Structures are given as structure tokens and as C-alpha cells.
């Protein structure tokens, strides 16, 4: 007890300075999270008091075909989109790293999409671009290709969202750039003397040395992508259509909570997503021992 | 680099994991609540007796919310200003938004216990709120004399009752129908649709338009899916059924559903109505950009009060309207529709809220602005009053409503779970449209799943 008192006396100023953040975390994150954990075990329509129903919400979830659809669509978006985005970001970073002039300018320009790529305005713009009378189609017509209704066809709608994600390559690119700058120049000189080709240099020197950065980007982008919402909400008009092809997990969660008045079920979905992301991240961490190389 | 990278990563991760769930469970619609503060419109010099009475009362603030576009927002703000002039002790805070956002926000507000006092209501949604006890029984304020419904026909009042309790009163009564532009029909040399056409006539007309235009124009929008009302609901009612039964079960047979979807499927396969992808693309388009206004289809289904909005979009031709297609040898599908006003159960000032509704639906100062904005005024005195004020397109709307209204019969309100069933209906219809399921399969799956939803 005395020790505690002592600690408090020594540190209270520190906590005082922390308090704006602490209050935010408690009231805006921690408490709502606990509330949603409780709600996930209830039947709650937001009007009448929640009724405790145990694990029923979770049980219903696994039998809900639409829920499975949403999980499938989201996984597809994440596990196809994120690698493509990272490959693209790395390619641009490699290009910018060759010491071209005006690097700062390009870096800033390419970063811009990351800043407002998740906004409503961009989603609306995307809708126009890939619409039946959009820019993409008029471009294709000029080149003599078949046009298609990209947004409204179930077999292509998700890909337009993936392209939107790839387009927001700026923030991983900047991190890649920082990583590339850390690769010791001597290694390139040594490999050159040994007669390594450009490709060999990339695959044997650059890539292994930036694996920590690749890993970092991979984890961050995967976690972010699982929670994508705005693009699908705007582009599908809130429906997740056509034929659930853009029904992101968070979008379905939103529909359940706010359109179908099933906040208990929606909370259970949120907690499942948390666990799912946690597992995906854990798996990445475990496998990372095999392929991430830290220079000690 | 490595150590730093690793700890940076762990730190970033822990924050993200913390935020994940909070972010997921708080996906509230981020439309800025369009709350405008009320201009001070007190008119102290007005020697009106009412004002002198009111000046002595305590100041009260109520909130009023509605859906609509910019024009409507200006209009309703003006009506509220006039109310504040008339009742200087009552301030009205206004909140408004587009149709979709409106309902998302209202749900959240009601759940959070900070719902506005006076809310705009609609048949599609009222049972969600009424059956969960979120709305006030208006007979209280009618009995206290704050809300006067003496000039309202019994049928209009009844359309606001659920299980014999009055939850909402109509701002305006409207009827849906199918609209067309005379110029388009004249150019193609096709006869206008008949006021009392049947579904067969409809199918024939749509096909004729498609063929005579050489395939450059679709006959009409695809009415197979989307919201089951009014189109499919009329169809079920014409078969002597309805969407739901009074005790909250599915009110139509699988056979009716198969008939309905088969009709649309045939038209789609003929090319007379838009293909699935095009239909989907325009599903949520605003009025100015929808398929009818952009000239992709010749006929569309709208509520009558919107005739003048559509007329504004066309320089040539006249927008006219005919009844929803009827069923040869069947019953009438019509039921009263409209936009309504309700008071929320938790309102601290139900009497003042009632005074506001009373002003909105019964006073000439309000109605000379409202005219037929959300339908023909339900009060018989007021619908006479607005008649000379109308533009031709609005006059056509009123004529249409008056001609069709006598066909209307009572309609049951949706049970809990209707929102989910609506989604299911729309999902199954698009599965047919995209060719993923046959009509029979889709109908069978619909019936099974819908029954499961209602049993929960």
C-alpha cells in the first residue's frame, strides 16, 4: 500500500499529462468495447433493453449464409488486394529510389491518395470512373475493347474496390522507401563485383534486407483492409450488391445493427472480426520467424 | 533498424487492436447532423392576441426532423419560421437529411434516447418504431385539444393507426402509379397507357416501346425487386393477399411470387426492361440522374406527389401518370400512402410538439407553402385551400390522387423483421436477374428464409 502511494506521488504528474489520452481511450474505446462484448451475448434491438441469450448470436452467425458471404468477400479483398498493393508500392519505391531528381515532389504526390483514398468523395469518383458511361469505358472504347458495367456486375465489382485499394499505395510506399535507404550500399558494390545481375541484386540483397519493412506493411495493411467500409458502402449504395459481391464484413455488420435492428448480433460479429484479425496477425507473426531477416 | 522496427511494430499493433472493435461497433453514419439553429423570428409588435397569451409562457425548445432534398429543406424551414412567429415561446430546432441517412440517424437517435420531438414517419418504417414503443399515442394530444383532426377523413386517420393506436398523422396523402412523358410516346407514335391498364397491357406496352424504338429505349424500369412495396404489394393485394397477415406472417403464396418474378423475367429476357447490371447501377441514383430522367426508360414507377419534380426535369412533354397496373378479374391493390408526422414517446414537450403538428397540417400559413410537397393535404379543408395555388403538374398529382384514392382499402402494417425480409426479397430478385437462380428456386428459398426470419 505504501509502495503504491509512493509510486503515485512520484508519477501523478505523468498521469495528469496522460489523462487527455487516457480519458479518450477509456470512454471512446475501452468502455464501448466492454459494452459491445456484453451486447454480443444478448438480443438487443436498441429500443428495448437487451435480453441475455448466451452464445446464440455466435451460433446463428455460423449458419448465416450471408455472413459467410461477407467473410469470403472480405478475405478475398484482403488476401488478394494487400499483396498486390504492396507489390505495386514496392515497385514505385524501387523506381523512386534510383536517385531521380525531384524525389520529394513525387513522394508527396504519390502519398496523396493514401490521405483521402478512404473518403466518400473518392468512392463517389470511383463509381463514376467505373460506371457504364465512365472514363474507364470510354478509354476502352477508344482502344476498341468491349465495355462492361464494372461496378454493377457481380464478377467485377469487387475488383474495382481492389483497384481502389491498390491506388492508395502511398503510405506503404513511403515506408518501403525508408527501408530501401537503410540497405548498406557496400552490399550492392560487393555483389556487383561478384557479377550479380540487377535481378539477382534485388532478390538476394534488397529483398532479404527489407523483409522487416515488408512484414510491417503486410500486417498493417491486412488489419486495415479487414475493416474497410466506406468504399463498399458508397459504391454499392449501402447494399453490398450486386449479389453480395461487395458485401464487406463491416458493411454487413452495419446493416445488421442499424437497418435490421440487431445490435446484439452486430456486436457478436464485431468480436468475431477482432478474433479473426488477431488470428491472422498471429499466424503472420509465427511464420515471420521463417522469412523475416533482422540484421543484428 | 531491426530492433526499432520490431518495437515500433508492436506498439502500432497494440493500438490498432485496441481500436479495431471500437471502430467496428461504432460505425454510425457520419453525415454531419444538419442542425441549423433557428433564426429568432419573434415578432413583438404583432398585436395578435395569441402572441400576448404565449408571451407569458415559459420558453420551450422542440426538435423537428424530416427527409428530403434541398428544395424541401428550404420549404420546411420557412414553415417552421412561420410557426415560431405564431408561437414565440416555442423554438424549433431542425434536423434533416436524405432518405437513406434519415432512417439510419433516426434509429441511432431513438436508441440513444435523444430522438427529436417531432419526427417524419413513413409506412415502411413506422411499425419498427411503433411496435417497439418509441412513438407516442397521439390520442392523448388529440383529446387535450392540441391536435385537431376534425377535418380529417376517417380513412386518413386510420392509415396512421397500428393495432388501433394512433401513432402518426398524415402531412400529405399520396398514391403511387406509373409515370410517362407524353413527348416520348408521341415521338414513337405509341398510344398513351390507359388509366385502368392491366399487367398484360403493361407488358405489351413495355414491349411495344422497346420494339418501336429499335431497342434504343427500354420500356420501363425493372420492378421485380427492390422494395416489395408498392409494386409487388399491389400484385399480392390484387390476388386477395398482402405482404403480411394481421398476425405477422407472410401473407402471400409461393405461387403468387413465382407469377410475379416470371412476368419480369420474361420481359427482361425479351430485352424490354433493363438488364441486371444496368438496373443495379441506377438503383440508388438521385432523381436527376435516374433512368427515366436520363432517357433510358420510357415508363417509371413514382408516387404522385413527385410528378412536378419530374416535370421540372423535362422541357418537352408532359409527365402524366396512370394507376398501378391492375389484375384482370382481380381486386384493387390500392392502399393509402403518404408522409406522416409522429411524436416520440420520450418527448418532454408533447403538447408543444402537438401544437407544431397542428400548425403544420391545419394552418393556411403552413399549407400555402407546403401545397402538395409530400402529397395532397389529408385535411379536406386544406386540400380545398391549396387547390388554386398549384402549378399544372401539381394539379395533375392531386387529380390523380383523388381519382385513385377511392379504390384504397385498409392495409396491415409490417411485423418486426420486415426490414430483413425486404432485403431478402431484393436479394432473391437480383439472383434471378443475374441468372444465378431460376424463378422457382428463388421463390422457394425466399419463402423458407422469410418464415424463419418471422419466427425469431
Q: Which positions 158-217 of A are in contact with B (Cβ < 8 Å)?
A: 179, 182, 212-213, 215-216
| Residue B32 maps to a domain | no
Its ipTM equals 0.84
| Residue A162 maps to a domain | yes
Interface membership of B421 toward A (CB under 8 Å): no
Contact residues on chain B for A263, CB-CB shorter than 8 A: 111
Question: Which of B4, B18, B20, B434 should be substituted to probe chain A, the one whose Cβ sees the most A Cβ atoms within 10 Å?
Answer: B20
Question: Which of A22, A65, A259 should be substituted to probe chain B, the one whose Cβ sees the most B Cβ atoms within 10 Å?
Answer: A259
Q: How many domains does chain B have?
A: 2
Same domain, B249 and B111: no
Q: Could you tell me the CA-to-CA distances from B51 to A55, A182, B40 in Å, in that order? A: 60, 78, 15
| Residue A66 maps to a domain | yes
| Residue B441 maps to a domain | yes
**What pLDDT score was predicted for residue B46?**
43
Q: Which residue from B21, B110, B283 is facing A237, i.e. has the nearest CB?
A: B283
The answer to whether A277 contacts B281, with C-beta atoms less than 8 Å apart, is no
The answer to whether the beta carbons of residues B172 and B377 sit under 8 Å apart is yes
Q: Write out the E strands in B23-59.
A: 34-36
The answer to whether A259 contacts B18, with C-beta atoms less than 8 Å apart, is no
Orientation angle between helical segments A135-142 and A120-129, nearest 10 degrees: 30
Q: Searching chain A, which residue's CA lies closest to the CA of residue B432?
A: A243
| Residue B19 maps to a domain | no
Contact residues on chain B for A48, CB-CB shorter than 8 A: 132-133
Round to whole Å and give the CA distance between B234 and B220: 17
| Residue A4 maps to a domain | no
For residue B386, the domain's CATH number is 3.40.190.10
Q: Which residue from B104, B110, B427 is facing A47, i.e. has the nearest CB?
A: B110
| Residue A83 maps to a domain | yes
Beta strands at B297-303 and B218-220: parallel, antiparallel or unpaired: parallel
The answer to whether A212 contacts B281, with C-beta atoms less than 8 Å apart, is no
Same domain, B166 and B262: no
DSSP run (H or E) holding B370:
helix B364-370
Hey, is B278 helix, strand or coil? Answer: helix
| Residue B394 maps to a domain | yes
| Residue A223 maps to a domain | yes
Q: Searching chain B, which residue's CA lies closest to the CA of residue A65?
A: B449
Q: Which residue from A220, A257, A266 is facing B12, i.e. has the nearest CB?
A: A220
Interface membership of A278 toward B (CB under 8 Å): yes
Hey, is B96 helix, strand or coil? Answer: strand
Closest CA of chain B from A1, distance in Å: 30
Q: Would you write out chain A's pLDDT as a tens digit for each of its 296 residues?
A: 678 888 888 888 888 999 999 999 999 999 999 999 999 999 998 888 899 999 999 999 999 999 999 999 999 999 999 999 999 999 999 998 887 788 888 888 888 888 877 788 888 888 888 888 888 888 888 888 888 888 889 999 999 999 999 999 999 999 999 999 989 989 999 998 998 888 999 999 999 999 999 999 999 999 999 999 999 998 888 888 789 999 999 999 999 998 888 999 999 999 999 999 999 999 999 999 999 988 76
Interface membership of B302 toward A (CB under 8 Å): no
The answer to whether A132 contacts B133, with C-beta atoms less than 8 Å apart, is no
For residue A221, the domain's CATH number is 1.10.3720.10
Q: Could you tell me the CA-to-CA distances from B340 to B125, B230, B416 in Å, in that order? A: 11, 17, 20
Same domain, B435 and B298: yes
> What is the domain range of residue B94?
45-174+337-402
Same domain, B83 and B152: yes
Round to whole Å and give the CA distance between B81 and B106: 23
Place of cell 389484375: B327
| Residue A184 maps to a domain | yes
> What is the domain range of residue A198?
55-291
Beta strands at B118-122 and B60-67: parallel, antiparallel or unpaired: parallel
Q: Searching chain A, which residue's CA lies closest to the CA of residue B19?
A: A29
Q: Which positions 49-78 of A are in contact with B (Cβ < 8 Å)?
A: none
**What pLDDT score was predicted for residue B9?**
61
Same domain, B131 and B272: no
Same domain, B53 and B128: yes
Same domain, B202 and B137: no
The answer to whether B107 contacts A238, with C-beta atoms less than 8 Å apart, is no
Greatest Cα pair distance in chain B: 82
Contact residues on chain A for B19, CB-CB shorter than 8 A: 29
Q: Residue B287 has what DSSP assignment? A: G
The answer to whether A273 contacts B431, with C-beta atoms less than 8 Å apart, is no
Q: Which residue from B13, B24, B426 is facing A253, i.e. has the nearest CB?
A: B24
**What pLDDT score was predicted for residue B415?**
87
Take residue B87 and report the three cell numbers written for it.
408561437
A247 φ, ψ (degrees, to nearest 5): -80, 85
The answer to whether A36 contacts B278, with C-beta atoms less than 8 Å apart, is no
Interface membership of A33 toward B (CB under 8 Å): yes
Take residue B132 and report the three cell numbers written for it.
417497439
| Residue B6 maps to a domain | no
Question: Which of B17, B131, B280 should be substituted to probe chain A, the one whose Cβ sees the most A Cβ atoms within 10 Å?
Answer: B280
B261 φ, ψ (degrees, to nearest 5): -70, -30
Q: Which residue from B22, B111, B278 is facing A132, i.e. has the nearest CB?
A: B278
**What pLDDT score was predicted for residue B31?**
38
Q: Searching chain B, which residue's CA lies closest to the CA of residue A43?
A: B456
Contact residues on chain B for A219, CB-CB shorter than 8 A: 9, 13
B147 φ, ψ (degrees, to nearest 5): -120, 120
Q: Which residue from B27, B103, B134 is facing A47, i.e. has the nearest CB?
A: B134
Contact residues on chain A for B430, CB-CB shorter than 8 A: 241-243
Among A269, A252, A222, which residue's Cα sits nearest to residue A77? Answer: A222
Same domain, B74 and B203: no
Q: How many domains does chain A have?
A: 1
As beta bridge partners, residue B96 has B34, B66
The answer to whether A250 contacts B20, with C-beta atoms less than 8 Å apart, is no
Q: Which residue from B13, B27, B128 is facing A219, i.e. has the nearest CB?
A: B13
DSSP run (H or E) holding B9:
helix B2-25
Same domain, B314 and B424: yes
Q: How many CB pairs under 8 A join A and B?
A: 144
Same domain, B57 and B111: yes
| Residue B396 maps to a domain | yes
Take residue B407 and report the three cell numbers written for it.
379504390
As beta bridge partners, residue B299 has B180, B220
The answer to whether the beta carbons of residues B62 and B352 sit under 8 Å apart is yes
Question: Which of A34, A43, A44, A47 should be substituted to probe chain B, the one whose Cβ sees the most B Cβ atoms within 10 Å?
Answer: A47
Same domain, B163 and B187: no
Interface membership of A36 toward B (CB under 8 Å): yes
B79-83 contacts, C-beta under 8 A, 24 or more apart: B79/B360, B79/B366, B79/B369, B79/B370, B80/B38, B81/B38, B81/B39, B81/B41, B82/B359, B82/B365, B82/B366, B82/B369, B83/B356, B83/B359, B83/B360, B83/B366
Closest CA of chain A from B7, distance in Å: 11
3-state secondary structure labels for all residues of chain A: CHHHHHHHHHHHHHHHHHHHHHHHHHHHHHHHHHHHHHHCCEECCCCCCCEECCCHHHHHHHHCHHHHHHHHHHHHHHHHHHHHHHHHHHHHHHHHCCCCCCHHHHHHHHHHHHHHCCCHHHHHHHHHHCCCCCHHHHHHHHCCCCCCCCCCCCCCHHHHHHHHHHHCCHHHHHHHHHHHHHCCHHHHHHHHHCCCCHHHHHHHHHHHHHHHHHHHHHHHHHHHHHCCCHHHHHHCCCCCCCCCCCCCHHHHHHHHHHHCCCHHHHHHHHHHHHHHHHHHHHHHHHHHHHHCCCCC
| Residue A276 maps to a domain | yes
Q: Residue B35 has what DSSP assignment? A: E
Q: Which residue from B8, B133, B280 is facing A152, i.e. has the nearest CB?
A: B280
**What pLDDT score was predicted for residue B25?**
42
Beta strands at B165-166 and B218-220: parallel, antiparallel or unpaired: unpaired
Contact residues on chain A for B284, CB-CB shorter than 8 A: 237-239
Take residue A231 and report the three cell numbers written for it.
468504399
Q: Which residues contact B273 (CB under 8 A, 6 or more apart)?
A: B206, B218, B219, B220, B221, B222, B264, B267, B279, B297
Q: Would you write out chain B's pLDDT as a tens digit for each of its 456 residues?
A: 455 556 656 555 555 555 444 444 443 333 333 433 334 344 444 444 444 444 557 899 999 999 988 888 999 999 999 999 999 999 999 999 888 789 889 988 988 889 999 999 998 889 889 988 899 999 999 999 999 999 998 888 988 998 889 999 999 999 999 999 999 999 999 999 999 999 999 999 999 999 999 989 999 999 999 889 899 999 999 999 999 998 889 999 999 999 999 999 999 999 999 999 999 888 878 888 899 999 999 999 999 999 988 999 999 999 999 999 999 999 999 998 889 999 999 999 999 999 999 999 999 999 999 999 999 999 989 988 998 999 999 999 999 998 998 898 888 888 888 888 999 999 999 999 999 999 999 999 999 999 999 987
The answer to whether B24 contacts A32, with C-beta atoms less than 8 Å apart, is no
**What pLDDT score was predicted for residue B4?**
56
| Residue A280 maps to a domain | yes
Same domain, B328 and B451: yes
Closest CA of chain B from A2, distance in Å: 32
DSSP run (H or E) holding B299:
strand B297-303
Q: Searching chain A, which residue's CA lies closest to the CA of residue B5?
A: A212
| Residue B37 maps to a domain | no
Amino acid at each position: 500500500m505504501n509502495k503504491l502511494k509512493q509510486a503515485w506521488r512520484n508519477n501523478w504528474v505523468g498521469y495528469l499529462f496522460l489523462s487527455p489520452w487516457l480519458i479518450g481511450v477509456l470512454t471512446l474505446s475501452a468502455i464501448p468495447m466492454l459494452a459491445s462484448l456484453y451486447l454480443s451475448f444478448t438480443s438487443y434491438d436498441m429500443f428495448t433493453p437487451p435480453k441475455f441469450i448466451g452464445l446464440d448470436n455466435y451460433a446463428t452467425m455460423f449458419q448465416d449464409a450471408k455472413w459467410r458471404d461477407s467473410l469470403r468477400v472480405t478475405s478475398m479483398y484482403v488476401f488478394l488486394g494487400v499483396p498486390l498493393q504492396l507489390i505495386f508500392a514496392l515497385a514505385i519505391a524501387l523506381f523512386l529510389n534510383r536517385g531521380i531528381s525531384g524525389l520529394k515532389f513525387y513522394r508527396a504526390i504519390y502519398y496523396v491518395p493514401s490521405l483521402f483514398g478512404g473518403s466518400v468523395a473518392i468512392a463517389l469518383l470511383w463509381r463514376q470512373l467505373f460506371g457504364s458511361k465512365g472514363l474507364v469505358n470510354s478509354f476502352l472504347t477508344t482502344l476498341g475493347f468491349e465495355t462492361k458495367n464494372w461496378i454493377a456486375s457481380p464478377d467485377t465489382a469487387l475488383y474495382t474496390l481492389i483497384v481502389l485499394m491498390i491506388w492508395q499505395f502511398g503510405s506503404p510506399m513511403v515506408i518501403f522507401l525508408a527501408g530501401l535507404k537503410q540497405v548498406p550500399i557496400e552490399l550492392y558494390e560487393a555483389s556487383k563485383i561478384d557479377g550479380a545481375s540487377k535481378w539477382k541484386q534485388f532478390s538476394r540483397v534488397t529483398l532479404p534486407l527489407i523483409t522487416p519493412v515488408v512484414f510491417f506493411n503486410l500486417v498493417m495493411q491486412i488489419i486495415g483492409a479487414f475493416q474497410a467500409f466506406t468504399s463498399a458502402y458508397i459504391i454499392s449504395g449501402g447494399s453490398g450488391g450486386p449479389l453480395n459481391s461487395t458485401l464487406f464484413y463491416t458493411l454487413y455488420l452495419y446493416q445488421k445493427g442499424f437497418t435490421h435492428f440487431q445490435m446484439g448480433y452486430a456486436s457478436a460479429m464485431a468480436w468475431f472480426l477482432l478474433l479473426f484479425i488477431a488470428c491472422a496477425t498471429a499466424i503472420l507473426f509465427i511464420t515471420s520467424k521463417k522469412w523475416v531477416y533482422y540484421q543484428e | 533498424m531491426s530492433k526499432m522496427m520490431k518495437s515500433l511494430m508492436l506498439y502500432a499493433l497494440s493500438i490498432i487492436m485496441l481500436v479495431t472493435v471500437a471502430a467496428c461497433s461504432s460505425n454510425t453514419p457520419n453525415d454531419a447532423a444538419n442542425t441549423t439553429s433557428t433564426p429568432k423570428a419573434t415578432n413583438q409588435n404583432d398585436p395578435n392576441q395569441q402572441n400576448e397569451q404565449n408571451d407569458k409562457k415559459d420558453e420551450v425548445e422542440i426538435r423537428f426532423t424530416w427527409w428530403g432534398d434541398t428544395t424541401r429543406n428550404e420549404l420546411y424551414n420557412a414553415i417552421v419560421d412561420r410557426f415560431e412567429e405564431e408561437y414565440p415561446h416555442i423554438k424549433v430546432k431542425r434536423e434533416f437529411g436524405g432518405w437513406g441517412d434519415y432512417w439510419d440517424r433516426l434509429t441511432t437517435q431513438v436508441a440513444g434516447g435523444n430522438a427529436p420531438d417531432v419526427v417524419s414517419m413513413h409506412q415502411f418504417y413506422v411499425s419498427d418504431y411503433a411496435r417497439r414503443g418509441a412513438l407516442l399515442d397521439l390520442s392523448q394530444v388529440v383529446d387535450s385539444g392540441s391536435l385537431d383532426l376534425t377535418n380529417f377523413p376517417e380513412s386518413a386517420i386510420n392509415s396512421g393507426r397500428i393495432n388501433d393506436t394512433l401513432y402518426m398523422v398524415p402531412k400529405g396523402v399520396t398514391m403511387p402509379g406509373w409515370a410517362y412523358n407524353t413527348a416520348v410516346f408521341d415521338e414513337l407514335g405509341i398510344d398513351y397507357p390507359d388509366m385502368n391498364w392491366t399487367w398484360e397491357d403493361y407488358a405489351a406496352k413495355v414491349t411495344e416501346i422497346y420494339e418501336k424504338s429499335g431497342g434504343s429505349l427500354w420500356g420501363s424500369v425493372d420492378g421485380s425487386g427492390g422494395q416489395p412495396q408498392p409494386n409487388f404489394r399491389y400484385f399480392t393485394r390484387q390476388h386477395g393477399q398482402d405482404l403480411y397477415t394481421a398476425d405477422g406472417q407472410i401473407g402471400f403464396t409461393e405461387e403468387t411470387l413465382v407469377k410475379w418474378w416470371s412476368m419480369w423475367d420474361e420481359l427482361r429476357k425479351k430485352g424490354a426492361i433493363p438488364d441486371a447490371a444496368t438496373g443495379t447501377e441506377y438503383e440508388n441514383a438521385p432523381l436527376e440522374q435516374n433512368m427515366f430522367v436520363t432517357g433510358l426508360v420510357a415508363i417509371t414507377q413514382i408516387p404522385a406527389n413527385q410528378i412536378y419534380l419530374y416535370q421540372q426535369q423535362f422541357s418537352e412533354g408532359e409527365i402524366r401518370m396512370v394507376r398501378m397496373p391492375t389484375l384482370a378479374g382481380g381486386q384493387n391493390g390500392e392502399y393509402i400512402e403518404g408522409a406522416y408526422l409522429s411524436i416520440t414517446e420520450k418527448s418532454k414537450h408533447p403538447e408543444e410538439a402537438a401544437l407544431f403538428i397542428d400548425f403544420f397540417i391545419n394552418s393556411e400559413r403552413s399549407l400555402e407553402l407546403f401545397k402538395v410537397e409530400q402529397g395532397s393535404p389529408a385535411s379536406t379543408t386544406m386540400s380545398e385551400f391549396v387547390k388554386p395555388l398549384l402549378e399544372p403538374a401539381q394539379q395533375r398529382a392531386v387529380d390523380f390522387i383523388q381519382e385513385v384514392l377511392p379504390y384504397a382499402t385498409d392495409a396491415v402494417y409490417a411485423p418486426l423483421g420486415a426490414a430483413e425480409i425486404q432485403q431478402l426479397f431484393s436479394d432473391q430478385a437480383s439472383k434471378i436477374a443475374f441468372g444465378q437462380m431460376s424463378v422457382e428456386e428463388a421463390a422457394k428459398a425466399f419463402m423458407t428464409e422469410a418464415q424463419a426470419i418471422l419466427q425469431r
